[in-house]
Structure 1
């Protein structure tokens, strides 16, 4: 979480620092849980694209502290390094690699997961069509691992960018889950296309065995499952019992603070500046700053 003037007036940002969350996104998962009761009857959880770890923090506190589930197991996966969280197994790896799947299964003792979530998103370019496409591909990559590890009846939650082609993703997910809901937490800014797809009741496709393999595209992975884009486009008339229109639901207390509003600090003399809950572990600009301090940074453009 940065220290820009807008962040200082964002109450969710300030509340996150006060309550010890690594990022304001923690409130998004908390508000999703308030609406859908995601944390009930779960013990094995996978948090994909987890860094810096705010969702893993939420899962740890909810399962270990509030529900006192001593046998619960939480695995966080990300390509970026992440500072450890008590009770959470951290794996620095690619979510599309078969070895990552095996590492998670080893932590779970070979048992399937009850809940898989992903708050991952690409670095946005500002080109909405491109950003939506890349985000959809990230969701499908997370879904690949999910179909390999989630138990029947399990839950899946992921961040989406709502665009004109989002209906295709809803349709694909409806083949795999009994309920598919698009949810917008109050802590998610209304000016953002961001929302969260909540998928409940995993139902594996009959006769299809998902298997992660290197150098296989998402299209190839889901081929034969009956949900792939090519197959959906080939048969324009989908079976009535397989179609689903995703509901759009707002989450969070209507009386809670507005995530799009900024609030003035009336008592500046009483404000105490708080350090970040978790400093960056390995920011990509770290080496450049070190060279700049030593006066060795090369400003010439090649």
Structure 2
């Protein structure tokens, strides 16, 4: 079926905006695989999350920009990794030195079990999720699928985080958003929503940063 002129114009406009984006240009200059690297960098600048020797799980990791940031922030002066990073995505991801990668659909229990096996019995310091569904353009459907990923990421975090661990998740404002934030607050002592400078103004995304599991867990 021929592509409509309207759609071609829309795609061309998006490409022009993308190529002129300051964070895209900076990511290309500094060797990050996506502009989203700067979202995590800016979150860390505000929250001081990363520290030497920590263990990290990166959910929805492809193309690997958050794993790249984590790898850089956990590097010793000689460049070796001081900590552990485990990444997972439904899409393939080019290797990041020192990062263990699992390809699979996080919505499937067998993949969650594989990830848990890789992580092992030791609790982790940080679970971070930049997962998002493929958007259909139908708001209610997209919001529902986004919340499912957030809930799965939260469930994994609650099962694997250390008592003083940190959970970061991308969530989209809309149906189910406020309920998800309240659910996170029931499990963590400190919870806040951030919108990094690198997030596009037009995006409804927020990053939920939660710290310290409540003792009742």
Q: What residue ranges of structure 1 are gaps of 5+ in the alignment? A: 207-302
User: Match of 1:74, SS?
Assistant: strand
TM-score by length of 1: 0.62
Query: Rg: which structure is higher?
Result: 1
8 A contact 2:54–2:84 mirrored in 1: yes
Q: CA deviation at 1:93?
A: 2.2
Q: 1:157 aligns with which of 151, 165, 168?
A: 168
Task: Report whether the alignment pairs 1:32 with 2:43.
Answer: yes
Q: TM-score, normalised by structure 2?
A: 0.85
Which position in structure 2 is the counterpart of 1:173? 184
The change in CA–CA distance for 1:108 and 1:66 in structure 2 (over 3 A counts) is: farther
Q: CA deviation at 1:167?
A: 1.7
Q: Which has the higher strand share?
A: 2
The offset of 1:98, in angstroms, is 5.0
Q: 5 Å matches for 1:74-85?
A: 74-85=85-96
Corresponding position of 1:90: 101
Give the SS at the match of 2:92: coil
Give the RMSD, CA atoms, in angstroms.
Answer: 2.4
The SS at the match of 1:114 is strand
Structure 2, gaps ≥5 residues long: 1-11
Find the counterpart in structure 2 of residue 17 from structure 1: 28
Q: Any idea what the Cα deviations from partners look like across 1:122-165, whole Å, max 9, x if unmatched?
A: 12222333322221111001112212111112100011101254
- In the alignment, is the contact (CA less than 8 A) between 2:74 and 2:82 conserved in 1? no
Match of 2:143 in 1: 132
Query: How far does residue 114 in structure 1 lie from its aligned partner after superposition?
Result: 0.5
The one of 55, 73, 84 equivalent to 2:84 is: 73
CA distance in 1, matches of 2:56, 2:78: 14
Does the 8 A contact of 1:48 with 1:118 survive in 2?
yes
- Give deviations 1:189-209, integer Å, cap 9, x for gaps: 111101111111123644xxx
Alignment deviations for residues 199-225 of structure 1 (CA, whole Å, 9 cap, x no partner): 11123644xxxxxxxxxxxxxxxxxxx
Instruction: Report the Cα offset of residue 4 of structure 1.
Output: 2.1
Aligned counterparts of 1:66 and 1:197: Cα–Cα separation in 2: 31
What is the match of residue 8 of structure 2?
A: none
- Alpha-carbon distance in structure 2 between the residues aligned to 1:42 and 1:96: 29
Tell me, in whole angstroms, the C-alpha distance in 2 between the residues paired with 1:69 and 1:30: 20
CA apart distance, 1:32: 0.3
The equivalences for 1:240-251 within 5 A come to none
1:21–1:57 Cα contact (<8 Å) kept: yes
Partner-residue secondary structure (3-state), 1:95: coil
Q: CA deviation at 1:60?
A: 0.6
